[in-house]
Amino acid sequence: VQLQASGGGLVQAGGSLRLSCLASGITISNAYMAWFRQGPGKEREFVAAAAARRSGSNQYYADSVKGRFTISRDNAKNTVYLQMNSLTPEDTAVYYCAADSRLILSSTRTWSEYDYWGQGTLVTVSS
Q: What is the mean pLDDT of the chain?
A: 96
pLDDT computed for residue 103 by the predictor: 86
Q: Which amino acid is at 96?
A: Y
Pairing of strands 93-100, 121-126: antiparallel
DSSP letters spanning the chain: -EEEEE--EEEETT--EEEEEEEESS-GGGSEEEEEEE-TT---EEEEEE--GGGT--EEE-TTTTTTEEEEEETTTTEEEEEE-S--GGG-EEEEEEEE--S--S-TT-GGG-SEE---EEEEEE-
Q: How far is CA 126 from the centre of its chain?
A: 21
pLDDT band at 60 (very low <50, low <70, confident <90, very high): very high
pLDDT computed for residue 122 by the predictor: 98
pLDDT computed for residue 6 by the predictor: 97
pLDDT band at 29 (very low <50, low <70, confident <90, very high): very high
pLDDT tens-digit profile of 66-92? 999 999 999 999 999 999 999 999 999
Residue 18 has pLDDT above 90, yes or no: yes
pLDDT computed for residue 52 by the predictor: 87
Report the Cα–Cα distance between both ends of the chain, in Å, rounded.
Answer: 37
In residues, how long is the chain?
A: 127
Closest CA relative to residue 38, chosen from 114, 105, 91, 102: 91
